[in-house]
Each structure stands twice: as structure tokens, then as C-alpha cells.
Amino acid sequence: MEILKLRNETPDGSSSSKFNGHRLKPFLEPFPTSDVGGGPSRGPCLPLIDHRSRKWVTVMDLTIHDGKATRSGNAKKTKQPHNVVLVTGKDLLGIMLHDNSKNKKLSVEELVDECKTLFFSGHETTALALTWTLFLLALHPEWQNHLREEIKQVIGEGELLLNDLTNIRKLKKMGWVMNEVLRLYSAAPNVQRQAREDIQVGELIIPSGTNIWVDLVGMNHDSDLWGNDVNEFKPERFKDDTLHGGCKHKMGYLPFGFGGRMCIGRNLTIMEYKIVLILLLTRFTFTLSPSYIHSPAIMLSLRPTNGLPLIVQHV
């Protein structure tokens, strides 16, 4: 397929970050002025600001003041923002702050951009995948039961031990459900590339340098690729073909993208997804509230714009 020839790099070979901090700017809330200069003892904080225009920046629990990065979360609070001790953890932020390997320590600007990227790509997508899963499971209570049964068989009836997650990968049906949810309601609705050279796709000529959005939602709802039941929730289509779900083209199902820029968080997200579903399904049943209004819309990601009211009951 011609899509394979496309790359994410610009023609001069430099990288083009899709989630570059500045392109995210319209989605960032202004930092409350009362907090500017207020010190980093504020703890974890979600609003981000443009670090080029303000002196203080707080990204999650990282505070940057006069070019120095500091952890400001619960780990250690300080009233002296100018001489703060760096509090590091074994988490990704700690590694990024301290990794000196190959003298590739990140600059403050890079660090902030990485945090924004990971915060956006790491949170929104998984949260939406779970949201749409609850929606579809609420409509298909038989699948709630299939998954509860599978959890009972694989994990047992006791508490999920978070220090031993080896069984998680044995939850096959839950994997099919995740794939089917990402097919019908793609948390990431498109993938971007730039043509490195003139290419031809069918009768269409795409000139070199053209930016291309690969429409995953369109592909996932194409009956030529999936058959007449394309819009039905059928997790079992992934039973015998876990990667492609029986899609007629091997590049037709790409929930995490493809090639060198494929999602780096896919294994993490599968693990998070399964843990959250185990915890929810073993405690609660879900039905759709009569006040639900179906309103999926693409706003970078695919969201239910009117929310997802559910009726939640103890199992």
C-alpha cells in the first residue's frame, strides 16, 4: 500500500513533532496570575502555560523557574523556590530529569515539550478508550458477563495483585474488546505523515511535501474492508486474527499507527486498560442512562461531546 512509503520527517530530514507544545497552545488554560511567582509548593497541577512567555511554568508536578526544573509534587514541598532540592523518582519524569547517558540531558524546553506530549498522548487516549468501552459494554451486557467470567477464570476471585500482572496478558477476550472499541471509536482518529517524494495512490498524485492525514475512523468504518457488519460491535472478529480482526487489508487496522512513529505507549495503555476494566467490572454493572445523547465528535481525539452518563450498580 502506498501509505507505507510516507514518512513523518520533513524533506530536510528533521523531525516534525505532531504534538509540539506550541501547537497545543489553544488547548492550554492560562495559569492563574495569583500563582505566578507563588513558588512551587502548590503540588500537582494540570494547567499549562506557554513557557516562552512566562517566568513560571508548572507542568503536572514539575516546576521550572529561571531555567531550573524542580519536582513540586507531594514528594517534597519547599518554601524556597530559588534553592530547591531536586526530588527525583523512578518515574518517567525522574528519568528525564536525571538521565545523563550519552550526554543527552534534555534542555528545559525539551523537557517541557516532552511532558506536554506525554501528558496529552498518555492520558486522553486511554481515558477515551475506557469511556467508549463502558458505552459499548453498557449496550452489550452479554459482553460484560463474558469479561467477568474471563476475569474469574484468569485472575480468580481475590484482589488483583498489582505486583504480579503476568496474568493480564491472558485476558484474551478483553483484548478483543479493546481492539473492537478502538475500531468503532478510535481514540486517535487519524495519523499524520508527510510525502517525501511524489507518489501515486490509485489515480491520485500526491506531490512531495504534502501533509497527509490518514483517516483511521474512515478506514475502520469501511465496509469494503470489514464487510457488512462493519458498524456492529463484534469483539469476536479478533478471535482468530488478533492483529487485524479479519480486515481485508493488512494495513487496514492501525489503532496505534505504524512504522517508526508507531505509538510508544501501546503496551502501557493495554496494561492500564485491562487493570481498570478488571477493577470496574468485578465491582459494578453498567447500563446507559436515558439522558445519554450520542454525540461523538473529533476534537483531536474522538470524544462524547455530551458526556457519557451511565447507571452504575454493584454487581
Task: For residue 303, report the phi and psi dihedrals to the nearest 5 degrees.
Answer: -120, 155
Contact in structure between 196 and 6 (CB atoms under 8 Å): yes
CA–CA dist 244, 250 (Å, integer): 7
Segment near ligand HEM (CB under 6 A), from 47-55, 78-86, 261-269, 278-286?
A: 261-269
Contact residues for 105 (Cβ-Cβ < 8 A; gap 6+): 99
Helix (H) or strand (E) holding 271: helix 266-281
- The residues pairing with 200 across neighbouring beta strands, listed in sequence order, are 205
Task: Output the smallest distance, CB 125 to ligand HEM, in A.
Answer: 3
95 is a contact residue toward ligand HEM (CB under 6 A): no
Task: Output the smallest distance, CB 133 to ligand HEM, in A.
Answer: 10
94 is a contact residue toward ligand HEM (CB under 6 A): no
Grid cell, residue 32, equals 492563574
Grid cell, residue 52, equals 516562552
252 is a contact residue toward ligand HEM (CB under 6 A): no
**Total residues in contact with ligand HEM, by rule CB under 6 A:** 22
Task: For residue 260, report the phi and psi dihedrals to the nearest 5 degrees.
Answer: -65, -25
Which of 111, 115, 184, 263 touches ligand HEM by CB under 6 A? 263
Which of 168, 174, 188, 280 touches ligand HEM by CB under 6 A? 188
151 is a contact residue toward ligand HEM (CB under 6 A): no
Q: At what angle do helices 172-184 and 266-281 cross, to 10 degrees?
A: 110
SS3 of the chain: helix, strand, coil, percent, to 5: 40, 15, 45
255 is a contact residue toward ligand HEM (CB under 6 A): yes
E-strand ranges in 170-307 read 190-194, 199-201, 204-206, 211-215, 284-288, 296-299, 301-304
Task: Output the smallest distance, CB 253 to ligand HEM, in A.
Answer: 11
Which of 264, 279, 293, 298 touches ligand HEM by CB under 6 A? 264
Task: Output the smallest distance, CB 183 to ligand HEM, in A.
Answer: 11
175 is a contact residue toward ligand HEM (CB under 6 A): no
Which of 58, 125, 220, 285 touches ligand HEM by CB under 6 A? 125
Task: Output the smallest distance, CB 251 to ligand HEM, in A.
Answer: 11
301 is a contact residue toward ligand HEM (CB under 6 A): no
- The residues pairing with 191 across neighbouring beta strands, listed in sequence order, are 214
Q: Is 247 known as a binding-site position?
A: no
179 is a contact residue toward ligand HEM (CB under 6 A): no
Residue 191 C-alpha from the chain's centroid = 13
119 is a contact residue toward ligand HEM (CB under 6 A): no
Grid cell, residue 65, equals 523557574
Task: Output the smallest distance, CB 209 to ligand HEM, in A.
Answer: 18
Residue 89 C-alpha from the chain's centroid = 22
Name which of 54 and 261 has its Cβ closer to ligand HEM. 261
Place of cell 496478558: 169
Q: How, if at all, do strands 62-65 and 56-59 pair?
A: antiparallel
187 is a contact residue toward ligand HEM (CB under 6 A): yes
Site for ligand HEM in 190-219 (CB under 6 A): 191
Name which of 264 and 297 has its Cβ closer to ligand HEM. 264
Grid cell, residue 286, equals 453498567
Task: Output the smallest distance, CB 11 to ligand HEM, in A.
Answer: 17
Residues that bind ligand HEM (CB under 6 A): 117-118, 121-122, 125-126, 129, 182, 187-188, 191, 255-258, 261-265, 268-269
**Residue set of the binding site for heme:** 263
